[in-house]
Structure 1
Amino acid sequence: MRVPISMIFPSSFSTFILPQGRENENLFASDTRMRKKINAPLLPNCKALRYTNSINNGLFRKESVMKINIQSKKTLFYLFLTFLSCLLGTWFAFLLADLVDLVLKKDLHHLTLQTLFILGFLLISISLAFIKGCVHNALLKEKSCGLRSFLFRKIFSFSVEDFQKHNSGEYLNLFLSDCELIEENYFKAVLTLFEHICQLVIVCVAVIFTDPIMFFVMLIMSIITVVVMNAGNGKIQTGMQKFAESKECFSVFLKERLSCFPLFSLYQVTSFVAGDFDLRNTELGNAKYVQQKELLKKSCLAEFVGLSCTVIIMAAAVGLTIYGRLTAGFVIASGQLVGKMISPLMVIPGTYAQLKSSQPVRERLLPYLEPLPSVTGNKKGKISSFKIEDLSFQYPDGCQPVFHPFSLTFEEGKHYLIRGKSGCGKTTLLRLLCKQLSLHSGQILVNGKTPLQDWDSADFFEQIGVLTQQNYIFTGTLRDNLCLYQTFSDEEIFHALRLASLPMSPTAFPEGLCTILTESGNNFSGGELQRIALARIFLHDFPWIFADEFTTGLDRQTAQKIESTLLSSREKTVIAISHQDSPEFLALFDEIIEL
């Protein structure tokens, strides 16, 4: 017989005390609490571990992940190698001039020595270029890996509520597209810009010492080139931004349509989905075409300006040779010097435009690079109760509150069942209790006095186990999915599997705990995945368990075993959501709350 408890609730809530009828009271009284939780290393080697520690210690900050630190030894070494490589490249042009001038001396012995010297010089130059390239790639790797690691750690430090403000397509686009664009259009562009500016300065100095008139001609052509190439950067930047946005939308569309393939197949609408895909695919292609068209215009203009400069500079060199200001060898060498000057003149404006085009992407990353707000929750200790006072909640985009103000108390050692029609706020209430949503109004007090948001999150989730309707499974072994980077003995894992009524049959788990679960657990049935999620909860031995439809989809016999296991111990406080209404099931709970 159900007896109403002495609590004051709105009319929409009714709470009852049920007969207990406990069995297997000490089923959870095993030594699972004695197990050690040891954080497993996330990275396998010492270099990666040192790299991770540098991120954890704050060496990668907002200011560093988006900039190249000129004061670092690796960067200074690269700058030195770049300067030396540019110097040797310019020197090579003058060595060619000396080689050609030997035609007037008709000295074969001197010609042989000069040729051997140039070949040795080339060997040194190429070796230096190889070393410079390796350092260049190492710098890019350091910056790109640092950026991705910083972003990943910042995202994984979000609350669940903040994390779910962005869709999965946006996160995928962030790592697979935006980070790549930053590497190519920002980090690499900065290094390329320095290299070509260094090359241009060295060539200009060398030409000034050779003949000031020649330098004056080159200077005029440089100014013309820069002015012409700076035109149209705005269109390129806009095109880059639109393409990035289109790519993100396409990524979201593709992920959703692929995940819903069984639905479309069952309803025989795959041809319509394919037509929708063609439309989105065309939109993405058009966005890329517009961007590439602007880049092509810039490229053709750059080629015309560059070749025009080459013709004018070569003509000036020939004229100065006729007047005796330059040697015949320098006319030939001027081709090398022109290339080393024209190349930076052509590349620098384009690289600068590329650098500017990365601005929208960098601005899109900035919110993820901002420092997290200081964690105010520092209260720790054993959780013995949750007290809800005048709680109401409305989603930001919702038209009306999910539920109106009510009060409620959950006490340690009891088992609670929350029931109600679909959409009445059962799951929302659990999400509020486990800090996955912020309070709209009212408050939730831990132990009757501490606001939920003031409780230390790490300490909170050491005591709270959450079992949602979605069974979160990632690609990895069964052990990985159960232990979640912590260390448990095989005996503890098998005990948790038994509690979840998941037999380790050779057919289902041919490799035992090392059996691989594929993406989202697609190689297992829904019931098996649900029991794996239950085993995970049992293994981590939480004193409080919030369970949302934890036996839905299981056969009645298996469900009864799990219900009896979960609800037979006073050491576990359970707050469950279920639509099941069998007398045997309801008898397992101390209180039933009707929403």
Structure 2
Amino acid sequence: MKTALLKNKGFIALTIFFSLIVSLGSVLVAVLLQRIIDAAVKGNMELFQQTLFISVFYVPLLGLFGYLYSISSKALIRGWTVTLRENVFRGILRRDFEEFSKTNTADYLSALSNDIKLIEENYVQPLLLTLQNMIIFVASLLLMLFISPLVTGILIGCVVLLFTVPTLFGKALQKRQKAVSIQMSLFTSKLKDMLSGYEVIRSYSMSHHVEKIFAQENETAANTKFTADRTLALNEGISEILGALTQFAVVFIAAYLILTGKLSAGSLVALVQLSNGFVGPVMMIMQNVPRIQGVKPVVERFNALADYENDVFEGKIQPAFHHKLEASQLSFAYTEGRNVLSNIDLTLLKGKKYALVGPSGCGKSTLVKLLTGCYAGYDGTITYDGVELKQLDRAGVQQLSSTIHQQVYMFDTDIRDNICLYESYSEEKIISAVQKSGIEQVISQLPNGLSSAVGENGSNFSGGQRQRMAVARALIRNLPILILDEGTSAVDMQTAYEIETRLLAVPDLTLITITHNMNPDVLGLYDQIIYMEEGRIAGMGSFEELLQQHERFRKFITLDTLEAI
């Protein structure tokens, strides 16, 4: 929040300046009304003409400054919310895979949409209104003291009573606003889950059941918000009643002073007008303070997202990979007490080709993610050319490797952007990557070629075509390490063989392939096969060596080959 304020300090200064002028100007209207009424009652034509002349210029000028205040405040709110979203989004992206995965993505979506709206409506806008009304309150108080200290003293006594309202509703509203934020996050999560499962819903005729779940969640979310709104309404209602009683007290006391000859008729009008500028702001403040307090948990959640700093990867050393990537006594657990990896010792040499094989769930993907800096909470060491991973610049480590994932994600843009990922590459490099990936023939048949839209998550293309694009995405970067995480599982065996053999032929490329494809012709081309079981490395060596020396590997290969047949 502080960063958002500092970034928009120009708009803050303008808003405060115009707010000051508008607030003071609205208070001084009472003086003009006093002069008009006194001139009419006393029959003073000269005073009447002077006041009329001033009013002709004063009112439009006040309207102009009101417009400028409205524009500057809206520009401030726009800048504030834009900065808040940017800060939160940046904070989300600073998380490593482990931290990111701990929170449902729907919570992030809710923070960037629902919570932003809550903060705008219940924090930023009330804060600006409170500031403006405080200026009006102070100016009205000073002018009322000048006109009638007695009426002002009685009015202050009534206002003290109004100040008790926030203490009655502040904590209750804070609790209810927090519940609204949590419930909207849950609602967004359920909604995302349902829409993501659209294909299953339609395939299994679940529409009626899902509609019922949606109706329940929708009702719960609406009721939770309504509970908070009821508390707000009660707070506002009591404030309105107390405010009205206060104004009646002012009118009756001022009327009594006129009857006793201690106050002019113009002063009565001025006092009534000023009491509106005295009680009205107090009521607004009383209504807005609980709203500001109520949204405090949401603001704290926002700050936690925006100010996130990774306290593990704090290294500043620029990484290098000229010789080897090494893991020693490496262990890792997603949840305490349940290791996914245990005591891994592994050395990967630059330019060599490695295949990670083993039963599903043995830790292959987790090992590769650890080696490339995705997770932080590991025991043991991971070093690049002898330097511990946690001492290295995290962004630099990520620039050493590219990954071809099994589950390919496509951004809702065109093929070119999905391959280049918004970076600039020459046409020659793009064409080369397209050719090596095997997607060239598909693109050549499209009317718009590389500019063809892929649709939401690549919905315009088949799984195999999306995977070929992912191969091109990785190849075009020409980074020293390439990870093939079941990256050819969605293409036919011939295409997979062609892609993999091309990658194996790149001399300076360190290739790490996670695979269930037990094709002996392909596995025989790797420098080393790393065979894993239950989070440990059970065997290492060439394909032929493991076949001859490792019985469990031989059984695994045989069973897998039979299952494939």
Bucket of the pairwise TM-score, normalised by the shorter protein: 0.7 to 0.9
CA distance in 2, matches of 1:180, 1:443: 45
Contact 1:69 1:75 in 2 (8 A): no
Secondary structure in 2 matching 1:164: helix
1:475 equivalent in structure 2? 412
| Residues 165-180 of structure 1: pairs in structure 2 closer than 5 A | 165-180=102-117
Judging changes above 3 Å, is the alpha-carbon distance between structure 1 residues 386 and 69 closer, same or farther for their aligned structure 2 residues? closer
Superposed CA deviations along residues 9-66 of structure 1, whole A, max 9, x for unmatched, are xxxxxxxxxxxxxxxxxxxxxxxxxxxxxxxxxxxxxxxxxxxxxxxxxxxxx7443x
Moved more, 350-359 or 102-111: 102-111
2:338 equivalent in structure 1? 400
AA aligned opposite 2:382: I
Q: Which of the residues 267, 271, 275 maps onto 2:212?
A: 275
1:539 maps onto 2:476 in alignment: yes
CA distance in 1, matches of 2:65, 2:78: 20
1:349 equivalent in structure 2? 286
2:525 equivalent in structure 1? 588
Moved more, 178-187 or 83-92: 178-187
| Residues 571-586 of structure 1: pairs in structure 2 closer than 5 A | 571-586=508-523
Contact 1:68 1:143 in 2 (8 A): no
CA distance in 2, matches of 1:364, 1:120: 49
**Equivalent pairs, count:** 530
Secondary structure in 2 matching 1:575: strand
| Residues 379-528 of structure 1: pairs in structure 2 closer than 5 A | 379-396=318-335, 400-438=338-376, 440-447=378-385, 449-503=386-440, 505=442, 509-528=446-465
Q: Which has the higher contact order (CA 8 A, sep 6+)?
A: 1
Contact 1:496 1:538 in 2 (8 A): yes
Ranges in structure 2 where 5+ consecutive residues have no aligned partner: 533-565
1:550 equivalent in structure 2? 487
Task: Please provide the CA RMSD for this pair.
Answer: 2.4
CA distance in 2, matches of 1:69, 1:403: 45
CA distance in 1, matches of 2:499, 2:324: 24
Query: TM-score, normalised to structure 1's length?
Result: 0.84
Deviation at 1:336, TM superposition (A): 2.3
AA aligned opposite 1:198: I
Deviation at 1:347, TM superposition (A): 0.7
| Residues 234-313 of structure 1: pairs in structure 2 closer than 5 A | 234-313=171-250
Q: Which of the residues 292, 317, 334 maps onto 1:378?
A: 317
Ranges in structure 1 where 5+ consecutive residues have no aligned partner: 1-61
Deviation at 1:238, TM superposition (A): 0.6
Judging changes above 3 Å, is the alpha-carbon distance between structure 1 residues 538 and 150 closer, same or farther for their aligned structure 2 residues? same
Deviation at 1:377, TM superposition (A): 4.7
CA distance in 2, matches of 1:317, 1:204: 16
Secondary structure in 2 matching 1:465: strand
Superposed CA deviations along residues 266-292 of structure 1, whole A, max 9, x for unmatched, are 233332222222222222122112111
Deviation at 1:325, TM superposition (A): 2.2
Q: Which of the residues 111, 131, 141 maps onto 2:68?
A: 131
Q: Structure 1 stretches (4+) deviating beyond 4 angstroms? A: 67-70, 105-113, 504-508
Moved more, 263-272 or 125-134: 263-272
User: Identity of counterpart residues, as a percentage?
Assistant: 26
Deviation at 1:222, TM superposition (A): 0.9
Q: Which is helix-richer, 1 or 2? A: 2
Judging changes above 3 Å, is the alpha-carbon distance between structure 1 residues 401 and 309 closer, same or farther for their aligned structure 2 residues? same
Deviation at 1:384, TM superposition (A): 2.5
CA distance in 2, matches of 1:551, 1:445: 29
Contact 1:211 1:325 in 2 (8 A): no
Query: TM-score, normalised to structure 2's length?
Result: 0.88
Deviation at 1:572, TM superposition (A): 1.5
Superposed CA deviations along residues 114-142 of structure 1, whole A, max 9, x for unmatched, are 33431321101000111122222222233
Contact 1:170 1:252 in 2 (8 A): yes
1:339 equivalent in structure 2? 276
Moved more, 581-590 or 421-430: 581-590
Secondary structure in 2 matching 1:516: coil
Deviation at 1:245, TM superposition (A): 0.5
Judging changes above 3 Å, is the alpha-carbon distance between structure 1 residues 280 and 204 closer, same or farther for their aligned structure 2 residues? same
Secondary structure in 2 matching 1:445: strand
Contact 1:207 1:215 in 2 (8 A): yes
Judging changes above 3 Å, is the alpha-carbon distance between structure 1 residues 508 and 152 closer, same or farther for their aligned structure 2 residues? farther
Deviation at 1:300, TM superposition (A): 1.4
Deviation at 1:69, TM superposition (A): 9.0
Judging changes above 3 Å, is the alpha-carbon distance between structure 1 residues 69 and 355 closer, same or farther for their aligned structure 2 residues? farther
Deviation at 1:68, TM superposition (A): 6.6
CA distance in 1, matches of 2:443, 2:271: 77
Secondary structure in 1 matching 2:330: strand
Superposed CA deviations along residues 273-327 of structure 1, whole A, max 9, x for unmatched, are 2222222222212211211111111121112112111211111121111122222
Deviation at 1:547, TM superposition (A): 1.1
Superposed CA deviations along residues 162-181 of structure 1, whole A, max 9, x for unmatched, are 22222211111221122332
Deviation at 1:195, TM superposition (A): 0.8
Q: Which of the residues 112, 123, 132 maps onto 1:195?
A: 132
CA distance in 1, matches of 2:410, 2:507: 29
Judging changes above 3 Å, is the alpha-carbon distance between structure 1 residues 452 and 88 closer, same or farther for their aligned structure 2 residues? closer
CA distance in 2, matches of 1:402, 1:556: 31
CA distance in 1, matches of 2:98, 2:72: 42
Superposed CA deviations along residues 426-485 of structure 1, whole A, max 9, x for unmatched, are 1111111111123533323323x3223333333323221122222122222322222223
Contact 2:11 2:73 in 1 (8 A): no
CA distance in 2, matches of 1:63, 1:506: 48
Deviation at 1:578, TM superposition (A): 1.2
Contact 2:416 2:451 in 1 (8 A): yes
CA distance in 2, matches of 1:68, 1:213: 44
